[in-house]
Structure 1
Amino acid sequence: MSGTPSALVVGGGVIGLCTALLLARDGYRVTVLERDAATPTEPGAAWESWDRRGCVQFRQPHFFLPRFQQQLEAELPDVAAALLAAGAVRYNLLGELPEALTGGRRAEDDRYTALATRRPLLEAVLARAADAQPGVQVRRGFSVRGLLTGPSDLAGVPNVVGAITGDGQEVRADLVIDAGGRRSTLPALLAGLGGRATVEEREDCGFMYFARFFQGDGGCPALRGAVHMPYNSVSVVTLPQDNGTWSVTLVTSSRDRELRVLRDVDRWTAVARLFPAQAHWLDADPGPDRQELLVAAGVVTTQHPA
């Protein structure tokens, strides 16, 4: 490479924006292509008003594992600080449990601390950081319909040097990164150029879930058990989020048709109150903008074996 190296990141979600920020701080000039055209809102309004149609799970409950918090605070400490300032909270998966269950706090338990936040807030904070980062340009409303290739030193291995957007523009770069998620079209485009087809294993996880958000003045309810508690045919997941919000999720087998009545808010509430270790998480007013019951089915796991 000569001069400032360039990078193209396809996909402007959590991974794509974090990648762009890290590359820019390593000296790259980065372009991000994001197919959703909607402009991010202010973090405080992201939950209510940011329309991310390309991410079907955008408003589903999320919990970003402790390793994410560790890497974010180590590599992008200003982003972690901005998240906390916007209402995210540090949440220790062991420290929030009663001492009778854990045997007391230990110094090494800090590694179980996570940043609890809803996904819209996280993406809005990342989008603001990317917009302010020198060397990063985020272009929203741009899909990728083809890949650009250059001379290759390896027979049969395409050398990708950029992408063609949906409207025919060419974006060239020294490094092209696919951060488009499991629905990305880039593996198929690469195979169409003669590259080795991506080996992908997909399997239905066999569950569906029914979630609801709450908000209280006193912060997140106390844990009386693990955040994920299995009870035979139903599991209950209680997750802290940002700005005094939290989610309660009932998880069932996708083959259990009788439990699909949990789509009804009243039946969902009646079942959720049957579990004494989690029932107090329902003691809050969901508010007019959180009456909706969120349902997710067809959850699959995807892996790419070596």
Structure 2
Amino acid sequence: MEYLDFELPIKELQEQLTKCQAIGEESDVDVTDTCKKIEKKLAESKKEIYGKLTPWQRVQLSRHPSRPYTLDFINNLTQGTFFELHGDRNVKDDKAMVGGLGKIGDQSFMFIGQQKGINTKMRQYRNFGMSNPEGYRKALRLMKMAEKFNIPVVSFVDTPGAYPGLEAEERGQGEAIARNIFEMTRLKVPIIVVIIGEGASGGALGIGVGDKVFMLENTWYSVISPESCSSILWRSWDYKEIAAEALKLTAPDMNKLKLIDGIIKEPLGGAHSDRQFTYKAVEKEILKSFSELKKLSSKKLVEARMDKYLKMGVFKG
């Protein structure tokens, strides 16, 4: 188990508890009361630390290496029915963007999302979850396929941004993202978007337009990362915590601004601390949203989606 810097008090108590339990198992000494006291203190410490997380700490949790990624969600939700589809039918198959058909219960969905790696080799293979234009074109191809066969779309967003390399720009990175945003606004099937980790910039927006957009509790969604914002404004990464606060990028901030439709609660300690709890919470929200959206005709669905985004940024003086 890996711990972040603000989680060190929890780590120390967890280690004390493990040692206490080991002593009880290896000797005749009764350490039950001591272990219970440590457990109580551990629970209180978790409640205190996770109950008042700063925006920057939520950003750190969203990047936790043990956090479940897109394929973890898809494979758990579909229970072996997921069939991955590859390629943009133009250049290549982008490994940072995954997608395919799968079922939750008896209902088919087209799943799309950015995939990060769990180790150095896999991170390089997945390009750290940063998609090239081919990834967005693959995503659009799959969404159009879903529309053709009247299958709802579920999009999992988890990216530090679209790949900013020269070759990506040469192949039309900006156009690919803009095209996806345009096409998703008028797609004639329900689109449910879940931010499961990082939701950065156009990289997130390229698969982030939906009838329902949800954020897991410890995720962020913004035009720029706190580090990049700090680098631009102060010429240093040292002010990333201030930037995170100013950007209003957390789930509660986004919900307050009415830029998302809801927050999916995570277990205490983050999505990785109880994966099954997280999977069930996401599945429940997807099925609930779909049950509401399937009642709308294609025309009403598109109109409601467009109205939703047209209202964003409008205010009365």
TM-score (norm 2): 0.21
The structure showing larger relative contact order (alpha-carbon pairs under 8 Å, at least 6 residues apart) is 1
